[in-house]
Structures are given as C-alpha cells and as structure tokens.
Structure 1
Amino acid sequence: MRVGALKLKLQLVCGDAFAMGPGKADLLAAIARAGSISAAARALGMSYRRAWLLVDEMNRCFRERLVAAHPGGGRERGAQLTDNGRAVLAAYRALEERSTVITESDAYRALTGMVRETPLAATAEIDPKR
C-alpha cells in the first residue's frame, strides 16, 4: 500500500448489525455467479455456516430478501439473488465507485502530506514531547 493511501470501508448499518459491507457485497456477487451459498462460500474461502449467517443477516436487514435459497435436491435447488438483491448489490457497487473521488480532493492531499513514510518505532513509555 502506498504512503497515505486511504482505505474506505462502506458499511450500511441496520440496528446493531451491518446490513451491507464489502464482504457481504462480495458474497452476493459470488452467489450470483455460483448459484449456491456453499459454492460461493468455497470460492471466497469461508465456511458455509459463516456465509449462511451473513445471508441470513442481510435478508433480515432489508425490507425484501436479497437471496432466495432453495435447499434440497431437484431442479430448483441452490440460491440466487432476488431482484432486490441485484438492485442492492448494484447500488452498493455504485457507492464504492463514487467513493473513489475522495482521493481527488484537497483535503485528501493535505492529509496524506502529513503522513510519515513509515511509523516511528514503538516505545515502552509515552514520550510527551512527541
């Protein structure tokens, strides 16, 4: 990462939970590609349980479900994004894209100009002169 790089993490809050964030957006995209929660979890290197809990939290936070799961065998098994899920993912990705303009601002340039190349060495005591 370059000196003074700004890392933004957009998270949409729902009560005490996060309705959407970068990891959940990646999970939705993986479900859309794979057609199942378990395959999406494998693709992202996470457990099925973790992926299922994230999907459940998203579905509980939004007015309409984002993911429709069809467990068991047969033609209709797996999971897919609902129309609302596709709309939420597209809106979140658009916000991520728009957030990149922050790095073009005077405030960003001023702030990054005040950042050291590397941090000072840690000290055992707090030095009030620093």
Structure 2
Amino acid sequence: MNQQNQILLKKDPVRDWELPGGMVEPREKVEQAVVREVKEETGIDIEIIRFCGVSQEINKNICNFWWLGKVVGGALETSVESLEVGFFDLEEALDRIKDNNFKEELLQVLNQSNYPFFITFE
C-alpha cells in the first residue's frame, strides 16, 4: 500500500488484475521473494510490514502466503508479467479484480482483526 492507503495492482496477461506475487526461488527466503516479485512486476520497492495469512486453492494445488507491505521507493513500471500497474482505492481495486476468490483474499488481507487468516477454496 502507498501513503494514501491505495492498493498496488498489476494486470496479468492471462489472469487480469491482481496483486503482485509469484514463486519463491531456490534458497530464497519467502520475505525476499515478496520484495523481489513486487519490484520485478511493478517497479515498486516495498518493505514488509506483516504476515497476514494463507489461502489454499485445492483444485489448482496452490497455496498463497499473504503479506502486507508499504512503498519505500521505485516507480511504477510495466513488464512482461504486468501489462498495466497502478495504485487504486479499495472500491476501484475490487471493481478491477474479476476473480471472486482473489477479491475475498484481498478483503482478508485488509481485515487485520482476522490475522493470521486461513481460507480454503475448492
């Protein structure tokens, strides 16, 4: 999130609008992967504030670890993984995100009273 509490989203060529993220590389700490993926996909430098929770998509064999970060530098840039990037207020972010599971995950990340959360999707 930036200083205006806007949410950083990227437009993936396949999945449309989503939060930046990706895979952990061999011998890389999860926290390092979070910072690296955000930089690679958006051009933004972040500092991790806290761990938020985990979501599991059983039918896709995917587990996502959710972290909250704040912007500490960089500038918005597109990449092969990001056709567009930007900061959006919550309402606009939810309008842009088409995947209902992803919307639920974002709302869980923003609801600090549920930390750490665990959500399962079929």
Question: After TM superposition, is the score higher than 0.5?
Answer: no
* Structure number with higher strand proportion: 2
Q: What is the TM-score with the length of structure 1 in the denominator?
A: 0.23
Q: What is the TM-score with the length of structure 2 in the denominator?
A: 0.24
* Greater relative contact order, per chain length (Cα 8 Å cut-off, separation 6+): 2
* Structure number with higher helix proportion: 1
